[in-house]
Chains A and B, each alone.
Chain A
Amino acid sequence: MTDVKTFAWLTLLLPLAGTLVNAFGFKVFKGRAPGYIGTLFLAASFGCAIAMLSALLGLAEEERQVRAIAWDYAVVAGGEGQTVDVQLGLLVDPLSVFMALVVTGVSMLIHLYSIAYMDSDRGYSRFFAYLNFFVFSMLLLVLAGNFFLLIVGWAFVGAASYLLISFWYRRTTATAAGIKAFVINVLGDVGLTLGTFLIFIGTGTLDFLGSFERVGEVGQGELTAGCILLLVGAFAKSAQVPLHTWLADAMEGPTPVSALIHAATMVTAGVYLIARMWPLFEEAPAAADVGAIIGCLTLIMAATIALVVTDLKRVIAYSTMSQIGYMVVGVSSGAYVAGLFHLMTHAFFKALLFMAAGSVIAAMANVQNLDKMGGFRRSMPFTFGCMVVGGLALAGVPPFSGFFSKDEILAYTAAREDWHVVLAIVGYIAAFLTAVYTFRMIFRAFLGEPVEEARELEAGHLAHADVPRNPVTGEEEDTDVGFPGPEHRIAERAMPMKLAMGLLAIGAIGAGFLQIPQVTHVVDDFLHPTFAGSRYFEELHPSDALTWGGMALGAALGILGILVAWSIWVRRPGTAARMRERFAPLYTLFSNRWYGDEIIDVLVVRPALWFGRFAQSTFERVVVNGLFVGGTTGLIRAGSAAVRARQTGFLRAYAALMLVGIAGALLWFLIEAS
Chain B
Amino acid sequence: MAEVFFFIAAIGALGGAVGVIWNWNPFYNVLALVVHLISIAALFLLLRAEFLAAAQVVVYAGAVMVLYVFVVAYIGGAEPAEISPFGPKLRPVAILFVGAILVELVIAFAGSGLKALDGEGAGYQPGFGSPGYIGDLLLTKFLVAFELASLLLTIAAIGAVVLARRRRGTVDEAAGDEQVLSVMDALRLPPGTGSQKEAVSGLPDVHEPAPGSRPEITTGTSAGTDREGGW
Chain A residues in 8 Å Cβ range of B98 = 659
- Chain A residues within 8 Å of B104, by CB: 663, 666-667, 670
Q: Judge whether B155 is part of the interface by a CB distance below 8 angstroms.
A: no
A656 x B113 contact (CB < 8 A): no
A659, B97: Cβ atoms under 8 Å? Answer: yes
Please tell me if B117 contacts chain A, counting CB pairs below 8 Å.
no
User: Inside 8 A of B108's CB, which chain A residues have their CB?
Assistant: 666, 669-670, 673
Min CB gap A537→B, angstroms: 94
| B83 close to chain A: CB less than 8 A | no
Q: Is the CB of A650 within 8 A of B86?
A: yes
SS of B interface (majority): helix
Smallest CB separation, B189 vs chain A (Å): 36
Tell yes or no: B187 within 8 A of A by CB: no
On chain A, the residues within 8 Å of B101 by CB distance are 659, 662-663, 666
- Residue numbers in A under 8 Å from B112 (CB-CB): 674
Nearest Cβ distance between residue A557 and chain B, in whole angstroms?
104
Asked if A572 lies at the interface with its beta carbon under 8 angstroms from chain B, I say no
Q: B114 CB to closest chain A CB, in angstroms?
A: 8
B 67-109 binary contact with A (CB < 8 Å = 1; else 0): 0000000000000000000100010011001101100110110
CB distance from A646 to the nearest CB of B (A): 14
Task: Say whether A582 faces chain B, with CB atoms less than 8 Å apart.
Answer: no
Q: Chain A contact residues (Cβ within 8 angstroms of B): what range?
A: 10 to 19
A215–chain B nearest beta-carbon distance, Å: 79
Q: Does A652 contact B (CB under 8 A)?
A: yes
The answer to whether A495 has its CB under 8 Å from any CB of chain B is no
B141 to chain A, nearest CB (A): 27
Given contacts A650-B86, A656-B90, A670-B107, contact A663 B97 (CB under 8 A): yes
Complex alpha-carbon distance, A669 and B100, angstroms: 14
B157: min CB distance to chain A, Å: 25
**B114 CB contacts on chain A under 8 angstroms:** 673
Cβ–Cβ < 8 Å partners of A663 in chain B: 97, 100-101, 104
A660: interface (CB < 8 Å): yes
Q: Does A653 sit within 8 A of B, measured CB to CB? A: yes
B113 near A652: Cβ-Cβ < 8 Å: no
Residue B94 contacts which of A656, A670, A673, A674 (CB distance < 8 angstroms)?
Answer: A656
Chain B residues with CB under 8 A of A653? 86, 90
Q: Tell me, in angstroms, the Cα distance from A650 to B101 when the chains sit together.
A: 22
Query: A650 vs B105: C-alpha distance in the bound complex, in angstroms?
Result: 27
Mask for A634-650, Cβ within 8 A of B = 1, else 0?
Answer: 00000000000000001
Report which of B86, B97, B100, B107 forms a contact with A652, defined as CB distance below 8 A: B86
For chain A residues 119-156, which have a beta carbon within 8 Å of chain B? none
**Bound Cα distance A659, B100 (Å):** 10
Closest to B94 in A: A656
Cβ < 8 Å to B, chain A residues 97-138: none
Give which listed residue, A650, A659, A660, A670, contacts B113 with CB less than 8 A: A670
Which residues in A have their C-beta under 8 angstroms from that of B86? 650, 652-653
- Residues B113 and A673 in contact, CB atoms below 8 Å apart: yes
CA distance A667 to B107 in the complex (A): 10
| Chain B interfacial residues counted at CB < 8 A | 15
Interface centre among A650, A663, A674 (most CB of B within 10 A): A663
Taking the closest CB of chain B, its distance from the CB of A354, in whole angstroms, is 86
**Residues of chain B within 8 A of A659, CB atoms compared:** 94, 97-98, 101
Name the interface residues of B174-216: CB closer than 8 Å to any CB of A: none
Chain A residues with CB below 8 A from B90, complex form: 652-653, 656
- Judge whether B97 and A660 touch: CB under 8 Å: yes
Contact A656/B97 with A670-B113, A674-B112, A674-B113 known, Cβ cut-off 8 Å: yes
Residues from chain B with a CB closer than 8 A to the CB of A652 are 86, 90
- Residues of chain B contacted by A656 (CB below 8 angstroms): 90, 93-94, 97
For B100, list chain A residues within 8 Å (CB): 663, 667
Tell me, in angstroms, the Cα distance from A653 to B90 when the chains sit together.
Answer: 8
What are the residues of chain B within 8 A of A670 when measuring CB–CB? 104, 107-108, 113
Q: From residue 35 to 61 of chain B, which have CB atoms closer than 8 A to chain A?
A: none
A662 to chain B, nearest CB (A): 6
Which residues from chain A contact B105 at a C-beta distance below 8 Å?
A: 666
Compute how far the CA of A659 lies from the CA of B105 in the bound complex, rounded to whole angstroms. Answer: 13
Q: Which residue of B lies closest to A669 (CB)?
A: B108
Q: How far is the CA of A650 from the CA of B104 in the complex (A)?
A: 27
Residue of B with least CB distance to A662: B101
Contact with B along A178-195 (1 / 0, CB 8 A): 000000000000000000
| Distance to closest chain A CB from B98 (angstroms) | 7
A667 to B100, CA, bound (A): 9
CB distance from A247 to the nearest CB of B (A): 79
Smallest Cβ distance from B96 to chain A, in angstroms? 9
- B56 CB → nearest A CB, Å: 25
Residues of B within 8 A of A673 (CB): 108, 113-114
Cα–Cα, bound, A666→B108 (Å): 9
B104 CB to nearest A CB, Å? 4
Q: Which of A322-346 contact B (CB under 8 A)?
A: none
Question: How far apart are the CA atoms of A21 and B98 in the complex, in Å?
Answer: 90
Complex-state Cα separation, A659 to B114, whole angstroms: 22
Q: Report chain B residues within 8 Å CB of A650.
A: 86
Nearest-neighbor residue (CB-CB) of B101 within chain A = A663
- Which partner residue on chain A sits nearest B114 by CB separation? A673
Taking the closest CB of chain B, its distance from the CB of A57, in whole angstroms, is 95
Residues of A within 8 A of B94 (CB): 656, 659
> How far is it, in angstroms, between the C-alpha of A503 and the C-alpha of B50 when the chains are bound?
124
Report the bound CA distance from A667 to B97 in whole Å: 12
Name the residue of chain B whose CB is nearest to the CB of A658.
B97
* Cα of A666 to Cα of B99 in the assembled complex, Å: 13
Mask: chain B, 2-30; 1 = CB below 8 Å from A; 0 = not: 00000000000000000000000000000
How far in angstroms is the closest Cβ of chain B from A274? 84
When C-beta atoms are compared, the residue in chain A nearest to B104 turns out to be: A666
Instruction: Report the minimum CB–CB distance from B17 to chain A (whole Å).
Output: 16
Chain A residue contacts of B97, Cβ below 8 A = 656, 659-660, 663
Q: A interface vs B, CB < 8 Å?
A: 650, 652-653, 656, 659-660, 662-663, 666-667, 669-670, 673-674
A-B contact pairs, 29 of them (CB 8 A): A650-B86, A652-B86, A652-B90, A653-B86, A653-B90, A656-B90, A656-B93, A656-B97, A659-B97, A659-B98, A660-B97, A662-B101, A663-B97, A663-B100, A663-B101, A663-B104, A666-B105, A666-B108, A667-B100, A667-B104, A669-B108, A670-B104, A670-B107, A670-B108, A670-B113, A673-B108, A673-B114, A674-B112, A674-B113
Other than the known A663-B104, A670-B108, A673-B114, what 10 A-B pairs have Cβ atoms closer than 8 Å?
A652-B90, A656-B90, A656-B94, A659-B101, A663-B100, A666-B105, A666-B108, A667-B104, A670-B107, A670-B113
**Which 7 pairs from chain A and chain B are nearest by CB?**
A666-B104, A663-B100, A663-B101, A659-B97, A663-B97, A650-B86, A660-B97
